[in-house]
Amino acid sequence: MGSTSPAPASLPPDFQWGFATASYQIEGAVNEDGRGKSIWDTFCHLKPTRTKGANGDVACDHYHRYEEDFDLLTKYGAKAYRFSISWSRIIPDGGRGDDVNEQGIAFYNRLIDSLLSRGIVPWVTLYHWDLPQTLHDRYGGWLNVEESQLDFERYARICYERFGDRVKNWITLNEPWIVSIFGYSTGGNAPGRSSVNPQSSEGNSATEPWIVGKALILSHARAVALYNKEFRSIQNGRIGISLNGDFFEPWDAQDERDREAAERRMEFHIGWFANPVCLAQDYPKCMREQLGDRLPKFTDSEFTLLREANMDFYGMNYYTSQFARHRDESPSINDYLGNLEELQENKEGVSVGEPSGVHWLRSTPKLFRKHLTRVYRKYGKPIYVTENGCPCPGEEKMTVTEAVNDTYRVRYFEDHIEAVALARSEDGSDIKGYFAWSLMDNLEWSDGYGVRFGATFTNYDTLERTPKQSALLLKGMFEKYTEPRKYL
């Protein structure tokens, strides 16, 4: 009589998986039912265009088609769905003294109830980049650390009060690194402030991203502390944040300076936010050393707030990895990388991974596993992968018939889901969920409607949705790792 061993890689039966989206990228209906303007509405209509002529005025028209989109979630077998709330639909002018828009509340109530009626768990992101334009005009938005955190706290309160009886999974902010760097250093995203981008007329790339970073950290902390103090015991939910960040390997594995550069890059990318929000600690030492007084300090009372903002999980947005090569020269005043070069090939010319349909993303599942384990061991929070996905090579030029046969994306999902299972089973990392980016092709921010990350094909002329193979196969990928093991 013998026995069969369980497969080395597995996921728990209650593992949450599904798809993710963001309000401005899919909703459209920007002028309907009392919604106020966001900084992305303004940015997408700048002339000359900074978004390849694209805007979110209609987007995927999810505002009117959400039932059709949720039917897709059911078809795909998704257990959960992550979406973001548009702050300016809830409070059109954004501020703590401004009126609440009941029509916006009603829309998100319909979304939440529709998901629950299908047995799909809602995951709500409070902020996915679309700051109310009025707050930017009124006091500089995230550049005003004191005002912005108080307004965000009030917005969070409204959401907890109105949706928290049914929403049990909250994400405060999506990718504050992108908000800070692309919005206020490179100027490639809204509000487009930069002193190094010739298209930008305002901004200071040497100082503003670090101010914005602090505003976002304290806004997150206020929202979590509020939930912990007033809502957790009644609503029994959980709350976290979604941080992006690549994993970095040294360009020359034998060079200690490159090994240090790789770690320093991840500290500048992830530690900037994870140290304060996960550990209630100061920014990484390497950031203090390079940035000096340009990196705002936390006061004693702010550290107290960070300690009160104990969150439940780390949301990880992961797409790719890179190599880091040290620089011998002193860093530029506008440097935000940590004084190094980011490269996709190492010293031997070996690529970090298979190229995708966008220049910055290569498929790197083995390094994803390393990334998961590094983050779990360093920050000690259970991990939900809140975004992971890719565009296929050449997909932006494909017909629907060609695009639905998305073999690159199928392979990417298979390999990255296996990495999650291995990180759990063999590395001991506590990973509880996975959200594929994205449910459907949508407005890819400043890249417009060219790059397609969706597991569903969107025809932008007719707005017809067509499932791609990857969406239909995801359920089976997860079942492979979650099915009970049999012993003989």
Catalytic site positions: 175, 387
Task: Give the helix ranges, DSSP H, for 292-446.
Answer: 300-308, 365-379, 400-403, 407-425
| Pair 88, 38: CB distance under 8 Å | yes
Distance of alpha carbon 379 from alpha carbon 406, whole angstroms: 35
| Pair 481, 417: CB distance under 8 Å | yes
Long-range Cβ pairs for the range 45-54 (8 Å, 24+): 46/192, 48/199, 50/188, 50/192, 50/199, 50/446, 51/445, 51/446, 51/447, 51/448, 52/446, 52/447, 52/448, 52/449, 52/450, 53/448, 54/443, 54/448, 54/449
Backbone angles phi, psi at 312, to 5 degrees: -90, -30
Query: 261: part of which helix (H) or strand (E)?
Result: helix 256-266
Distance of alpha carbon 311 from alpha carbon 171, whole angstroms: 10
| Residue whose entry in the numeric block shows the structure tokens 């400043």 | 446
Distance of alpha carbon 219 from alpha carbon 156, whole angstroms: 10
Q: Measuring CA to CA, which residue among 472, 434, 475, 470 is closest to residue 452? A: 470
* CB neighbour burial string for 28-46, b if at least 16 within 10 angstroms, e if fewer: bbbeeebbbbbbbbebbee
| Pair 439, 474: CB distance under 8 Å | no
Q: Measuring CA to CA, which residue among 483, 280, 243, 487 is closest to residue 374? A: 243
| Pair 309, 221: CB distance under 8 Å | yes
Query: 24: part of which helix (H) or strand (E)?
Result: helix 23-26
Max distance between CA atoms of the chain, in angstroms, equals: 77
